[in-house]
Amino acid sequence: MAENKIDNNKAWKFATNAIHIGSETDKETGAVITPLHMSTTYWQEAPGKHRGYEYSRSGNPTRAALERNLAALEHGRFGLAFASGLGAIDCVLRLLKPGDKVIASDDLYGGSRRIFVKAYERYGIKFAYVDATDVKNIEKELDETTKMIWLETPTNPLLRLTDLKAVAQLNKLMELKSKNSGYPLIVVDNTFMSPYFQKPLLLGADIVVHSTTKYINGHSDVVGGAIILNDETNYKELKFFQNAIGAVPSPFDCWLTLRGIKTLALRMEQHNKNAQKIAEYLSAHKKVKTVNYPGLKSHLQHELAKKQMTGFGGMISIELNGSFEDAVKFATSLKLFALGESLGGVESIIGHPASMTHASVPREHRLKIGLSDALLRLSVGIEDVDDLIKDIEQALDKI
Ligand code: P1T
């Protein structure tokens, strides 16, 4: 630990932690930026006698710096970094055993649902999908076999919320937790908000997961994931699996992600401002049928959003007044919004969930939850918002 800085993440505020935790001045060289440790192996004075690192899959100093930083940002004790968001999700699911049940939001990133259905059901893990906008639906599914409650709030792509405090305070859940050594665990995928706008561990969640590919790295140049938690026993088990399974990020990806995090606070503020303006613009446009954005008063859970988040983020989903072909025409007419997968980068992106991020979700389920073939998802970047609105305007004029 550097002598000229105190590791004081409890006293510092978010933007300070984002810049300083994990980037303490290097003792040997004075480097202000975290060194990039590419070495795969570490010298041992005698077998097993080393300085904390032996092999880069098991532990790497650049990765450890990122993990400390992520833990501080989420107000957790422990952080673990992965090669992708799904790598992190997979690791959390390893805590389960055959016969265990997971209660999950019925509106989730398509890849999360895919790993549940295609990879874990075959090992005897059961999944119950509920409309988690009403915590009573979660309560109804709770039983002795329930070991996890898996939530995205806001959800991808419909931007629906779950009241995390209300979930954590469910009597039935508290009874089960006290009987079953802390299980069922509340797991929250916090990718859409980033720790800047929402800290699930402070609202009663046990584990937070992230696709750091998105806002945390923020520059659309690293695929990564993370787990943050407080419980030491679960941390040790997850750390064991991180090494045993090996979905670890490269040191360079960790270094880039740490660099991205330095501007997370600034970026999130601008994503939020731009998205609010765009959501309001779209809501007032006659060619737009629905706008899902938690910052709009018309959002059914706007009050909860104000209570549980400190901002509304940069993600919007919309349906146009028109056909599927109109939606495609609009998406392909945009010049600043690139048509593609992913989100959370500084540049704006428009996606078509039904054919892209949620293509693996059966159509019948998609329609049931309101994810229509015409739904479009906007990841609002941090360009000048006037330019973004002009771009949307000219594309809407084309339909
Ligand atoms: O892509 P990866 O880093 O493996 O993260 C998966 C993931 C997990 N959780 C959420 C909420 C996500 O949105 C994602 C990835 N999502 C996209 C690629 C997308 O365009 O929605």
The percent of residues above 90 in pLDDT, for the chain, comes to 93
Task: Reply yes or no on whether 109 is catalytic.
Answer: yes
List the domains of the chain with CATH numbers.
Answer: 14-261 (3.40.640.10), 265-396 (3.90.1150.10)
Q: What is the pLDDT of residue 17?
A: 95
Which residue in the list 214, 267, 366, 377 is annotated as catalytic?
A: 214
Atom 6 of ligand 1 has which residue's CA nearest to it? 85
Contact 130, 106 (CB under 8 A): yes
CA 343 vs CA 223, 377, 396: distances in Å? 12, 9, 22
Q: Mean per-residue pLDDT for 214-225? A: 98
135 Cα–ligand 1 center, Å:
24
Q: What is the pLDDT of residue 282?
A: 98
Q: How far apart are the first and last CA of the chain?
A: 59
**HEC assignment per residue over 71-105:** HHHCCCCEEEEECCHHHHHHHHHCCCCCCCEEEEE
Q: What is the pLDDT of residue 1?
A: 33
Q: Name residue 312's amino acid.
A: F
| CB distance 26 to ligand 1 below 6 Å | no
Q: Please, which pLDDT band fits residue 88 given cuts at 50, 70 and 90? A: very high
CA angle at residue 82 from 376 to 100, to 5 degrees? 80
CA distance 12 to 265: 14
User: Which residue, among 206, 197, 196, 184, has the nearest Cα to 78 in the 3D structure?
Assistant: 206
CA distance 295 to 312: 5
Atom 5 of ligand 1 has which residue's CA nearest to it? 85
Q: Mean per-residue pLDDT for 24-40? A: 94
Task: Give the mean pLDDT of the chain.
Answer: 96
The percent of residues above 70 in pLDDT, for the chain, comes to 97
The dihedral sign for the CA sequence 170, 172, 177, 183: negative
Residue range 286-308, pLDDT digits in tens: 999 999 999 999 999 999 999 99
Task: Reply yes or no on whether 214 is catalytic.
Answer: yes
Contact 291, 99 (CB under 8 A): no
Q: What is the pLDDT of residue 300?
A: 97
Give the count of alpha carbons within 13 A of 185, CB side only: 21
Residue/partner pairs of 26-34 with CB below 8 Å, 24 or more apart:
26/2, 27/2, 27/3, 33/259, 34/62, 34/65, 34/255, 34/258
Q: Mean per-residue pLDDT for 80-108? A: 98
Which residue in the list 63, 107, 109, 147 is annotated as catalytic?
A: 109
Q: Mean per-residue pLDDT for 125-151? A: 98
Q: What is the pLDDT of residue 11?
A: 79
